A = this chain, B = another copy of it.
Amino acid sequence: MTPAAERITSPAAERTTSPAELDAIAERARRASAALVGTPAAARARWLSAAADDLDAAADELVELADRETSLGRPRLPGELARTTAQLRLFAEAILEGSYIEATIDHADPAAVPPHGDLRRMLRPLGPVGVFGASNFPFAFSIAGGDTASALAAGCPVIVKAHPAHPLLSHRTAEIVDAALTAARAPAGTFAMIEGRDAGTALVTHPAVRAIGFTGSLHGGRALFDLAAGRPDPIPFYGELSALNPVLITSAALEARAAELAEGLVGSFTLGAGQFCTKPGVVLVPRASGFADRVGAVLGAGANASADASTSAGPRMLSAAIASGYGDGVQALTAHPSVRVVAGGAAQASAAAADGRASVALFETAAATVLADPDALLVECFGPAALVIEYDDRAQALAVLGAIGGSLTATLHAEPGEPVDDVVAAMTAIAGRVLFAGWPTGVAVTWSQQHGGPWPATTSIHTSVGVTALRRFLRPVAYQDAPDPLLPPELREANPLGIPRRVDGALTLD
């Protein structure tokens, strides 16, 4: 961690891309878009790999910059950069494999009802994509993060709005990506960075932009979603906004491993000062389980260096605004008449917030209280706070899950063989990812990842992490009775790229 005095305030933090600059950038992106439609996946895979290689080569410099601007430290930052470059390479691998474009061929069938000609369908890039970098992942959800990687992989030019919390890192990352893409012969205009709140707003309403990827707050995300939906030509807004990430622990699990669960929970909800979209904010436990006090004891013992509840000298948060918002959230829970403060609380949080720091807070209440006052109690508190909710019985616990609504994750801790079908069904109904072990912080970048869930977790039915994030930036086009040479290679009869396709209804691997 970097002491406050050493934190940098770069002139770059003040910069705003002007409307004229944005127009020029968008026009270049529009022209690049026309060139990108025709680029082979192999070319785009090379660009992504080149960007990954050059970012890895600059790891020392980038991690140093990131730490100066975010205080996230080691091993987090080198790990996040490695995850980010692995992500670029995974998208390269996925587009080479080829099934992401969903090539589908139906030969002419005069006997069908109704009869039809030769129809061939694949996904094509949407066009220029606007991406908003997030404060809490300076690499993985920022300039060269998942939205950028998936949009480029899909064949869409990217205009990324840098988050003001890490301007120098953003600039340097963008320089490296731009140089890598240029050296790998991506069309001019394939990638650009902009800065400033007004430029971000203008990006969402710019006629050349065909979709937006966003990770951030419910308030800010909703405002931009409304702008995107309110355009003369509405565009998709893929926002990942807010989540409570409930955890439910059964009596049997508590009996078997309460100490381990308490340690695990503390590790997860205080990780990175609780500034993860997958932070477990709500923990459902049986009534009179004593679990909250056990967790409080773990916090009091200072088992986790970043979870010291006894002082305001907690970890620096990502921005003054986040620290202030976190302080307000802790204050509201502390002030609630039916909530017990187990650790931390308003006084510590206020003192910490004034210094831009986080103070760990743990609260406890009853499920009946939550059900009576969901709007006050079921609110994301972005920072190292968690609310333990004691339930009387399974039905009440399920009611709380229902009241929580959309979430990125839901986690169940039960013992093998316990009847939990009802909990799994309730969790599946509200979450994008249901965990049966461990804790929700930590989002693997794989083919099967789902990082998204019902509103307000996300604004769409897609994911922002994992290979299928590609789908957000593609739209289908069908070709009817096309001469073979005029078809994209993916749809030509001979399947020159050797990709998986569906032919006359049957999936083929080639």
Chain A interface (Cβ within 8 Å of chain B)? 34, 37-38, 79, 82-83, 86, 93, 97, 99, 102, 104-106, 112-117, 119-121, 124, 126, 225-226, 229-230, 233-236, 405-406, 416, 420-421, 424-425, 428-429, 431-438, 442, 444-450, 452-456, 459-463, 466, 468, 472, 474-483, 486, 500, 502, 505, 507, 509
Contacts and interface: CB of A to CB of B under 8 A. Distances in A.
Given A112-B444, A229-B226, A437 B480 contact: yes
A448 B105 contact: yes
A233 B455 CA distance: 6
B106 A236 contact: no
Contact of A34 (B425, B460, B463): B425
12 contacts: A34-B425, A83-B114, A93-B505, A117-B437, A121-B447, A225-B229, A233-B405, A233-B454, A233-B456, A434-B482, A435-B480, A468-B476
A33 B422 CA distance: 14
Contacts of A225: 229, 234
A234 B447 contact: no
Given A34-B429, A432-B476, 6 more contacts: A117-B438, A424-B486, A428-B477, A433-B479, A436-B479, A436-B486
A429 B126 CA distance: 9
Contact of A104 (B83, B230, B447, B460): B447
A500 B502 CA distance: 12
Contacts of A113: 82-83, 86
**Which residue of A434, A442, A453, A462 has the most chain B CB atoms within 10 A of its CB atom?**
A434
Contact of A436 (B38, B83, B482): B482
Given A124-B428, A432-B476, A448 B104 contact: yes
Given A113-B83, A482-B436, A486-B436, A446 B477 contact: no
Contact of A475 (B79, B117, B230, B454): B454
A373 B450 CA distance: 46
A479 B226 CA distance: 31
Contacts of A105: 448
Nearest to A140: B114
Contacts of A454: 233, 475
A451 to B, nearest CB: 8
Nearest to A468: B476
